[in-house]
Amino acid sequence: MSKLDIKQLRKVYNRGTDTEIVAVDDLSLTVDDGEFLVFVGPSGCGKSTTLRSIAGLEDVTSGSIRIDGRDITGQKPKNRDIAMVFQNYALYPHMTTRENMSFGLRVNSMLDDDEIDARVNEAAKMMGISELLEKRPGTLSGGQQQRVALGRAIVRDPRVFLMDEPLSNLDAKLRIQMRAELETLQNKLGVTTIYVTHDQTEAMTMADRIAVLDDGKLQQIGTPLECYYKPANQFVAEFIGSPTMNFLTVERSGNRLVHDAFEFVVSNDTVDLCGDRTALVMGLRPEDIDLGGDETTNAVSGIVEVIQPTGDDAYIDITIGDDTVTLDIDPEQSVGVSVGEEITVSFDEEGVYLFDPQTEATIKTNTELEPAGPDGSDALDTTTKP
Ligand code: ADP
């Protein structure tokens, strides 16, 4: 049973010099017992530094890290009861799989040889690598090496797993397979896990909760669906979701949102949310824009620039005034559409997001999913993954 508490964690590189870098900026969050938390954000946002600080591979500038109430901030890595899995696997090339998996236990535990062997055999079985126990890493494929690295973490029976982009060296197909396997494994073992990735799809599909980071700061922590439908700010709205949300600059005049190329009428509820603000950024998810529409549906016209069928969907880029907007529609609907053509699109107010252009704070999120059922609970079941 392990809960991880991070309080006001700060890591500054090159302290006191002209080139100070605040890699982690006052980060506070709690990872619940058995939870699968994913840190996601663009390259350089501080994900690895945070993970390495938790593992004890970096000295933190200030703040604290606790496991089940015990302060581990100044502890040596080996005393933290944490196992880390790296992107490059970090296996010892001269050791067999068995030796790689048992090395940590031999050095850092009081277990005898039989107990170590039993643990290694069990973890190897779990990871499907029993046949590889006497082989060296150089003779294994990337996927097999990653299984060994995971097996090595499992034998430690740690309180917390830390995983730093563990699947990014695998090819696309294997990555998807390993995603599912890792998720099943984590559910089975119930070990509190922090997983780092820059890939929002990986975060959305695997996480119980996602922590979105930018520039060393926590932007939002929530379930994948919360981050998708209720982003805390424009950064999260843009980062989570593929294709990304479209953003249009509008000026509110009463209950009309005025864009260079169209006007969109909104309800009094939305006007209330805007307060005094007149300058706004309108956000539209590609799947919330429909082909067709007339004057009763706030129709907007645009010129087709690009059509990209993906099999399940078709992405169509259109220009509306000076803005390019991506639509995600059924491929059948895209059949009659051609590049250069003027088409009409429409969208509902429920699917319109609004942001403050100065602070990037969210003013209005997707309201299609609320209010919910007869008991008044939120329709958005935030406990599940998409
Ligand atoms: P991410 O894992 O999200 O890509 P990192 O945690 O690796 O981000 O890096 C966060 C910031 O800290 C970046 O600006 C990076 O250049 C800087 N940084 C990371 N490691 C060091 C280091 N050892 N020395 C100086 N700056 C570093």
Q: If you average pLDDT over every residue of the chain, what do you get?
A: 91
* Residue 77 alpha carbon to ligand 1 centre in Å: 20
- C-beta separation of 161 from 194 below 8 A: yes
For residues 175-193, one letter each, b for 16 or more C-beta atoms within 10 angstroms of the residue's C-beta and e for the rest, the string is beebbebbbebbeebebbb
* Residue 46 alpha carbon to ligand 1 centre in Å: 6
Q: How many CB atoms lie within 10 A of CB 25?
A: 17
Of ligand 1's listed atoms, the one at least distance from the Cα of 41 is 3
Residue with CA nearest ligand 1 atom 15:
44
Q: What sign has the CA pseudo-torsion 62, 67, 70, 74? A: negative
* Residue 48 alpha carbon to ligand 1 centre in Å: 7
Q: Which domains does the chain have, with CATH numbers?
A: 4-234 (3.40.50.300), 237-369 (2.40.50.140)
Q: Helices 113-127 and 142-155 sit at what angle, rounded to 10 degrees? A: 140
- C-beta separation of 51 from 39 below 8 A: yes
* Residue 169 alpha carbon to ligand 1 centre in Å: 20
Output the pLDDT for position 110. Answer: 86
Output the pLDDT for position 374. Answer: 45
Residues with C-beta less than 6 Å from any ligand 1 atom: 13, 21, 23, 41, 43-49
Of ligand 1's listed atoms, the one at least distance from the Cα of 49 is 6
Residue with CA nearest ligand 1 atom 23:
13
Mutating to test ligand 1, I would choose from 9, 12, 21, 215 the residue with most ligand atoms within 8 A of its C-beta, which is 21
Alpha-carbon separation of residue 257 from 55, 274, 283, 354, 356 (angstroms): 49, 11, 12, 10, 14
Whether a cis peptide bond, with omega within 30° of 0, leads into 158 is no
Q: What pTM was estimated for this model as a whole?
A: 0.91
Give the whole-number percent of the chain exceeding pLDDT 70: 94
Output the pLDDT for position 78. Answer: 86
Of ligand 1's listed atoms, the one at least distance from the Cα of 48 is 2
pLDDT tens, position by position, 186-234? 988 899 999 999 999 999 999 999 999 999 999 999 999 999 999 999 9
Residue with CA nearest ligand 1 atom 5:
46
Residue with CA nearest ligand 1 atom 1:
44
43 token code pair? 């390259």
Please identify every stretch of the chain with a pLDDT value under 70, giving residue numbers as ranges: 1, 295-297, 369-386
Output the pLDDT for position 376. Answer: 43
